Amino acid sequence: MNRDELFNQYQSYILNLVSLTSGADASSRSVDDGERSEASGVEKEYTDRMSRLQAIKNAATKQYESVRETCMAILGLRRPVAQRSVYTTATVDECIKIQEQYAQRIQNLIAAVKQKAIEEKKKKQQEENAMRAIAEQRKAEEERRRQAAILEEEKRKKTAIAEENRRQGEQLLEEMKRKYKK
């Protein structure tokens, strides 16, 4: 083979090597892109699940705090102690449902206690109103007796004045009789 043919063959091999290398790079890039997209998909799923779990934890914590604050504010109970979670085979949704059921029971208990307190307050109010009515009746009766006593006193005074006037009139009449009799 002559030199030109060898050089041409060498060139063709180099071009073939360059094309194979660029094909491998493109293939490697597409594999890398596939792996990156798969890894980002897994990472996205992981972040979604973690954010969902965080949201569930926040919801459970808020429910617990709400129940605790309600118990402390309305019923005057002491602060419930936070409990450690126990391993369970139930799903997160089942656990949330159970917690919601307990929260509903507590709300029903609080509603019953509120209703009892309202009934007791109404009963106390009725008793107070009855006592006020009795006190007002006594006061009115006392006022009526006082007015009757005042009227009786005025009547007695008028009677005494009339009696005094009658006696003076009789005295005056007797004096006149004596005076004109002479």
pTM attached to this predicted model: 0.40
- Looking at residue 12, what DSSP letter applies? H
pLDDT of residue 77: 63
Asked whether the beta carbons of 110 and 70 are under 8 A apart, the reply is yes
Q: What is the mean pLDDT of the chain?
A: 83
DSSP annotation string for 83-106:
-------S-HHHHHHHHHHHHHHH
| Integer CA distances (angstroms), 4 to 10, 18, 42, in order | 10, 21, 56
In contact, 95 and 57? CB cutoff 8 Å: no
Please tell me the least confidently modeled range out of 44-48, 104-108, 155-159, 178-182: 178-182
- pLDDT for the residue 9: 84
Give pLDDT tens digits for 48-97.
888 888 888 888 788 777 777 776 676 666 655 666 666 677 787 887 78
Give the pLDDT score at 76.
63
* Residue 138 banded pLDDT, cuts 50, 70, 90: very high
State the DSSP string of 89-155. -S-HHHHHHHHHHHHHHHHHHHHHHHHHHHHHHHHHHHHHHHHHHHHHHHHHHHHHHHHHHHHHHHH
